Amino acid sequence: MPVAAQAFKKRKQSQEGTSTPKKKTKRDVKSHAPNADTETKKDKGKGKETAFQVVQSSLVVSISPVFSNNPRAGVEEMLDSMIMRYIPALDGVVLSHSNVSFKEDTAAIQADCPFLVCKIIFDATVWRPLVGMKLVGKISLCSPDHISLLVHKTFNVSIPRHHIPTDNWEFQYGPAENDPEFGAGAEVDEEKHSSEEGSGKWIHRVTGSPLGEDDGYLEFTVVGLTVANEMLSLLGSIQHDPFSPLHVPLGRAQSSEEKDVVDRMLMDGDEEEEDSDEAVDTDDDGFQALTKKQTEASTELTQQHQKEVEKATAEKDERMKKKKRKAEEATVENQKPQKKKKSKS
């Protein structure tokens, strides 16, 4: 009997052992579910690169005595004057400020100056685009030389012709003012043709679709920043390789043949390095020729100078001789009437 009881217990444990894995699988599925949710939440939180940043900055401010009763109002007025201006210390355009606080409870007054000097801390929302960043702007003007865009309806962007892939896009001129179809007497949608009249548009060579499609929004790469009068403007590019040395600012856009020529020149660079010794010899010959020309020019200048000196001296001598002759002739004429008077007497 005890043996049979032990066998029964073993069978029962074996049955329970076979049934427990099913329960564990359900628990495992439930336990893994929260991890999946957290992963999806983390993925949702990730966003694209943006030019907007919140920067905490400190600043030394001099407050006018008008705001002695309320220094915070003076600080806020000073910070308001920085809005929509490019501040080099913040490396961007200040859009707003918040969380203004004083570092110390007291302010300093220097000598006889009535202004309060104090340190402040504030959070500034800054628009700080970087070179290489991709942004989206709306086309405001098209011309054969460049494309103008507005980013966030505020910031100016210029895309010059050498940063436009002219192999795929070409410029189509807009209608003339005296065109009867688009002239003053024609009834057209002003908003639709405002950007086309007198300027034209860039269209695809194959499909004929305008650059930026119907909504006019265009994605570009920032290749340069320009600051003038505390205003920030961008230089953009829609080339596939915007930082390539091929996209140089020439008077006209590079064609496919010119690009082939540049590629050949780059390929021939290795061959030119092999012939460096010969190039050095030719350079030496060129330097010798230059030195010879310089010496010849210097000798010619010295000779001309000597000739001019000799001419000047000769002219001086002639002048002196003429003066002497005139003086002698004058003395001779003065002596003649005296001899006549003596003969009369």
Span 127-167, pLDDT tens digits: 999 999 999 999 999 999 999 999 999 999 999 999 999 99
* pLDDT tens-digit map of 157-167: 999 999 999 99
Please indicate, yes or no, whether residues 202 and 229 belong to a single structural domain of this protein: yes
Mean pLDDT, range 270-286, rounded to an integer = 52
* 274 inside domain: no
Q: Would the pLDDT of 195 be above 50?
A: no
* 248 inside domain: yes
Smallest Cα–Cα separation from 147: which of 219, 60, 215? Answer: 219
Please indicate, yes or no, whether residues 72 and 177 belong to a single structural domain of this protein: no
Please indicate, yes or no, whether residues 153 and 238 belong to a single structural domain of this protein: yes
- Please give the Cα distance from 64 to 61 (Å, whole number): 10
Q: Would the pLDDT of 332 be above 60?
A: yes
The per-residue pLDDT for 33 is: 39
Domain count, the chain: 2
Which range (28-42, 190-204, 248-262) has the least confidence? 28-42
* Domain boundary residue, one of 230, 253, 276: 253
CA distances from 127 to 18, 30, 51 (A): 64, 45, 5
Tokens at 252, concatenated: 């006209």
* 298 inside domain: no
Please indicate, yes or no, whether residues 89 and 198 belong to a single structural domain of this protein: no
* pLDDT tens-digit map of 69-99: 899 999 999 999 999 999 999 999 999 999 9
The per-residue pLDDT for 319 is: 84
Query: Model pTM?
Result: 0.54
Please indicate, yes or no, whether residues 63 and 141 belong to a single structural domain of this protein: no
Tokens at 158, concatenated: 């210029």
* 282 inside domain: no
Tokens at 131, concatenated: 């070179």
* pLDDT tens-digit map of 97-125: 999 999 988 888 888 888 999 999 999 99
Please indicate, yes or no, whether residues 236 and 162 belong to a single structural domain of this protein: yes
Sequence-distant contacts of 236-242: CB under 8 A, at least 24 apart: 236/135, 236/137, 236/149, 236/157, 236/158, 236/159, 236/163, 237/159, 237/163, 238/159, 238/163, 238/164, 238/165, 239/163, 239/164, 239/165, 240/165, 242/163
* CATH code for position 246: 2.40.50.1060
Q: Would the pLDDT of 344 be above 90?
A: no
In this prediction, residue 254 has a pLDDT band, given cuts at 50, 70 and 90, of very low
Please indicate, yes or no, whether residues 188 and 230 belong to a single structural domain of this protein: yes
* CATH code for position 70: 3.30.1490.120
* 170 inside domain: yes
* 201 inside domain: yes
* Domain boundary residue, one of 127, 154, 178: 127
Please indicate, yes or no, whether residues 118 and 211 belong to a single structural domain of this protein: no
* Domain boundary residue, one of 253, 284, 310: 253
Please indicate, yes or no, whether residues 141 and 247 belong to a single structural domain of this protein: yes
Q: Would the pLDDT of 214 be above 50?
A: yes
Please indicate, yes or no, whether residues 181 and 200 belong to a single structural domain of this protein: yes
More confident site: 40 or 182: 182
Q: Give the chain's mean pLDDT.
A: 75
Please indicate, yes or no, whether residues 111 and 168 belong to a single structural domain of this protein: no
Please indicate, yes or no, whether residues 112 and 143 belong to a single structural domain of this protein: no
More confident site: 61 or 278: 61
Mean pLDDT, range 270-295, rounded to an integer = 57
* 58 inside domain: yes
The per-residue pLDDT for 78 is: 92
* 224 inside domain: yes
* pLDDT tens-digit map of 301-315: 778 778 888 888 888
Host domain of residue 94: 52-127
Residue labelled with tokens 């010119």: 258
